[in-house]
Copies of this chain bind each other. A is one copy, B any other.
Amino acid sequence: MKDRFDLFILIGIGVSLLSFVFALWLNHWVKSRPSSNERIAQIGKLIRNGANTFIRKEYIVLARFAGVVALLILLFVPQPIWKGDYLRNIIMAVSYIGGTVFSAVAGVIGIRVATIANMKTAEAAQTGIRPSFLTGFRGGSVMGMAVVGSTLLGVSLVMLITNDTTALLGFSFGASSLALFAKAGGGIFTKTADVSADLVGKVELGIPEDDPRNPAVIADNVGDNVGDVAGMGADLFDSNVASITAALVIAAALDSSAGGLAHASMVLCYAAAGLLASIIGVGLARMGKRSGPTGALNLSTYITTAIFGVLTAAATWAFDFEWRIWGASAVGLLVGVVIGLASDYFTNDLRKPVRNVAKASGSGPAFTILSGVSYGFLSTLPAMAGIAVSALAAYKLCAPLGDGYAMFGISMAAVGMLSIVGMIISNDAYGPIVDNARGLVEMGGLGEEALEISDSLDSAGNTVKAITKGFAIGAAGLTVIALLGAFISEVNTHAAKLGVEGITGFDIMNPVVFFGMLVGAAVPAVFSALLILGVDRNAQRMVAEIHRQFREIIGLREGKEGVVPEYDRCIEIATHGALRELIPAGLIAIGATLAVGFIGGVQAIGGFLCGNIISGLLLALFMSNAGGLWDNAKKYVEAGNLGGKGSQAHKSAVVGDTVGDPFKDTAGPSINTQITVVSLVSSLAAALFLAYSLF
């Protein structure tokens, strides 16, 4: 049995190397697309340099942060180092650093190719919609392949070297602490730039959206890349690693009681199958002669889903895995699709919610907000119920297999839901690429036809984004439920070593659990509030800088030939501010976890995680969907409905969109990461909570 696990580790490494080779080929393909327009090259270079500036700054801060955390891990995790067994502490610290490095590398790759693919996609629009679509999609796919390849490679290597699932938790924590920076920091960055550029440019000076005189305009375009490409990639890398980690931790507990490593093998096998399915799906994806770009994106998702189902069924048959667990992972995948479709309903401008909000906007901005908040609240039900049902179905399917299988089934449902994440990221990264490309087509003056093509590609990106976002939140929900199971496994492992009693669960009626639950539920709200207030404060700083440039740089306002604003200053402010504003939010989340753990012990932490998951999912779904809805309501009005641009409905819809921006691009998606970080901190500090707690 042990041999077979090694076999699956080798398969995992093999498939991940295959995905890197494929990513290299895609990268080469994108780079070899023709380019000739000088204006596009010039603006594209500004965006590229800006993104690099951000990445450099971010990684300096990150390196310091990761250094401090690694030191703390070295000293205290899994146990204070002076209690002996210092080798385990070293392994944990190194695994942690490994997680941050793998995530960072995947992010850099994604940004690099995205800031080339945007130009190539823009120029390809001159030759037709199909080549332009393919360029954008393959640009995004490089990120998809790199992220999922890194996940599988990293997890396989940690298991190969340490054969210790606790070390894997360290690796996962590295991934999620980087994701916290990348997603929340990127989110603050992009919305700071977006809001400031609009406030001074459009509102105060009345210059167009992408006017190069505006010092914040490049920061705004950079923001799309660092928020949506790098941030989203880090977020899904984090979720993906966490889901596999949780499944492996639970599998280890099952395997240790059953002997052998059959369940751990199954996890790696399914993860490899998911990556393989994504590689095939991405390879096959192209726009048919009759289908639109939305259809093409969705079709490739469905194809990938089907391939995953077939591959895992074949593997289950060939390696004699339990069919019931296959069923759980299939249920997870299906429910993921359903949740995505529900998100789509609430944010699609062909449906009632967006239209009603647009209509309500005619009575003033208060009604835009009230109706948008209402639909945002409503949108939480199908997703919450979907996660609930998939957890229940996985349980029902797997509980008959024996003790502990129910939770393993849930963790495999999460793995199933995240199996096609390579495809999801490709679709998601396609969005900012074609968004950037649309701007470049306009600024480069490529003509009306190219503009129409890139418009239609861009709009497909927005539609698909809603589906993938719902998918990501759903997957995070299942993953953190599984992480709760992993937490119990960790606690029991340490309890056995310390010679104290282990735990089997957390009773709601235990007031210590309830205490943790109430505090845990408040954390995502506080976390979101700090991020939104951070965008607010940071935008004020950037607005001051834009005013200064217009005042001090002679000829800028008039658009004198050769006078350019200091784009880099704005990028620096956005970067610095983003990283500065992020820190209190991150510290509150981690600090609350440690406080609850040291006060109430592991029982309080169980409640804390549960409360955190529930309110986190609720708020994440609410903010993401309400934000997407307001964005599309504004676009719907701008398309000429209800009076079009300049009408009362439009003014109100713009207010809704501005409120929705930090909801959907800063706070909402960062909550995912916050939940994962808190779950992993709990697992890592489990031994400490067991040994040193007040209650």
Contact = CB atoms under 8 A, between A and B. Distances in A.
A293 interface: no
B377 A529 contact: yes
A522 B406 contact: no
Given A485-B509, A506-B508, A618-B522, A658 B607 contact: no
| A interface, over-half SS | helix
A529 B378 contact: yes
Interface residues of A, number: 79
Contacts of A385: 518-519, 522
A525 B377 contact: yes
Copies in the complex: 2
A62 to B, nearest CB: 26
B360 A508 contact: no
Interface in A647-667: 655, 658-659, 662
Nearest to A373: B532
A511 interface: yes
Contacts of A607: 508
Contacts of A515: 388-389, 391-392
A419 B679 CA distance: 39
Given A394-B511, A506-B508, A367 B522 contact: no
A395 B509 contact: no
A528 B511 CA distance: 28
A391 B377 CA distance: 29
Nearest to A381: B522
A237 to B, nearest CB: 25
Interface string A496-533: 00000000111111111111111101100110111011
B512 A505 contact: no
Interface in A181-202: 199
A199 B360 CA distance: 13
Interface string A369-397: 11101111110110011011101101110
B410 A511 contact: yes
Nearest to A410: B511
B526 A377 contact: yes
A377 B508 CA distance: 24
A484 interface: yes
Nearest to A527: B377
A523 to B, nearest CB: 8
Contacts of A364: 199, 203, 655, 658
A655 B369 CA distance: 9
Interface in A467-490: 477, 481, 484-485, 488
A388 B530 CA distance: 22
A611 interface: yes
A414 to B, nearest CB: 13
A381 B507 contact: no
A649 to B, nearest CB: 15
Interface string A347-381: 00000000000001001111101110111111011
Q: Closest 5 interchain pairs by CB? A: A395-B511, A366-B658, A505-B507, A377-B529, A388-B518
21 contacts: A199-B363, A364-B655, A367-B536, A370-B659, A373-B529, A374-B528, A376-B529, A377-B528, A378-B526, A388-B518, A388-B519, A391-B518, A395-B511, A485-B509, A504-B509, A506-B507, A506-B508, A507-B507, A508-B606, A518-B617, A615-B618
